[in-house]
Amino acid sequence: MTSFSGSPKLLKGGIVLIDPSTAQVQRIIALQYNPESLSRTLQVQGAGEGGDRSEALRLKGPAMETIKLDAEIDATDDMELGQATVADVGIAPQLAALETLLYPSSGQLTANHMLSSLGTLEILPMETALTLFVFGQSRVLPVRLTDFSVTEEAFDPSLNPIRAKVSIGMRVLTIDDVGFTHKAGSLFMSYLQQKEGLRARAQGGTLGTLGLTGIP
C-alpha cells in the first residue's frame, strides 16, 4: 500500500550557520526529530522601570526573547541499516555539530595565541558565524546560544553514545544587539513584521465580552 501522495511534507526544525557579511550558508544542522514543545519567554524592556512615572508607558527597545527546546538523537535506525559512521562512532558527530556552535574554532584560538605571543596589545574577541534558528518558513530567527546540555542515555560496546537528549537555550538577537544594517538586524525586523501581520489577523474582542459598556 502506498502513502497518500497529497500528504503535506513534514518540515524539520534546525540551525543554519551563515556568513554575517555575505549571508552565504556555511552549515545546516537539521534536528533528527522535531521537539514536542518550544518554551519561549519574552522580557519587556520598559523605560519606566527605574521609577520615573513619566516613562511608564515607554519602551526602550524590542522585548528580549529566549527560546528553549529539548531534542532527541537516536542511532537505532541507522544501526539497523548498517550505516558506517554510526557503527564507528555512534551519534558523536551529531553531538559535535551542535556542541561546536559554542566554541571558537581551534584555528582561531591558535591564531590568537600566536598574536599574544608576538606581543599584540589588543586582540579582538573571535567572531563566529551568524546562527539562525529555523522552525518553519515563517520563523527564521537570528540567535545566540546561551546554554546547552546533553544527557547521553545509551552506548555501544565501544562506549560511543547512540542515544541522547539535548537541551538548547537561545536568545533572539535584535537590532539592539547588532543594529539595523547587520544581517541579523534585517532578519529580526522581518520576524517582528511577521508578528505584526499575524496580530492583524487575530479576531478582536468587544467591551461587552469583558462585561463592560465603556471605559470608566
Instruction: Tell me, yes or no, whether 59 lies in a domain.
Output: no
Residue 77 is predicted with a pLDDT of: 81
Instruction: Tell me, yes or no, whether 41 lies in a domain.
Output: no
Q: Which domain holds residue 135?
A: 70-104+125-198
What's the number of domains the chain is made of?
1
> What pLDDT band is residue 198 in, cutting at 50, 70 and 90?
very high
Tell me how crowded residue 87 is: count the other CB atoms within 10 A of its CB: 15
Instruction: Tell me, yes or no, whether 138 lies in a domain.
Output: yes
What is the distance between the alpha carbons of residues 27 and 163, in angstroms, rounded to a whole number?
23
State what percent of residues in the chain have pLDDT above 90: 65
Longest Cα–Cα distance in the chain: 76
> 32-36, 119-123, 185-189 — which is least confidently predicted?
119-123
> What pLDDT band is residue 95 in, cutting at 50, 70 and 90?
very high
> What pLDDT band is residue 80 in, cutting at 50, 70 and 90?
confident
Q: What is the DSSP letter of 36?
A: S
List Cβ neighbours of 173 (8 Å cut-off, separation of 6 or more): 142, 143, 144, 184, 185, 188
Instruction: Tell me, yes or no, whether 176 lies in a domain.
Output: yes
List Cβ neighbours of 16 (8 Å cut-off, separation of 6 or more): 25, 27, 28, 29, 131, 132, 134, 140
User: Is the pLDDT score of 100 beyond 90?
Assistant: yes
Residue 52 is predicted with a pLDDT of: 73
Instruction: Tell me, yes or no, whether 39 lies in a domain.
Output: no
Q: Is the dihedral of CA 139, 129, 149, 64 positive or negative?
A: negative
Instruction: Tell me, yes or no, whether 193 lies in a domain.
Output: yes
- Least Cα distance to 192 among 140, 137, 132 occurs for 140
User: What is the tens place of the pLDDT at every residue in 134-193?
Assistant: 999 889 999 999 999 999 999 999 999 999 999 999 999 999 999 999 999 999 999 999
Secondary structure tally for the chain: helices H, strands E: 6, 7
What is the distance between the alpha carbons of residues 71 and 149, in angstroms, rounded to a whole number?
11
Report the mean per-residue pLDDT for the chain. Answer: 90
Instruction: Tell me, yes or no, whether 23 lies in a domain.
Output: no
What is the distance between the alpha carbons of residues 165 and 148, in angstroms, rounded to a whole number?
11
pTM listed for this prediction: 0.87
Instruction: Tell me, yes or no, whether 36 lies in a domain.
Output: no
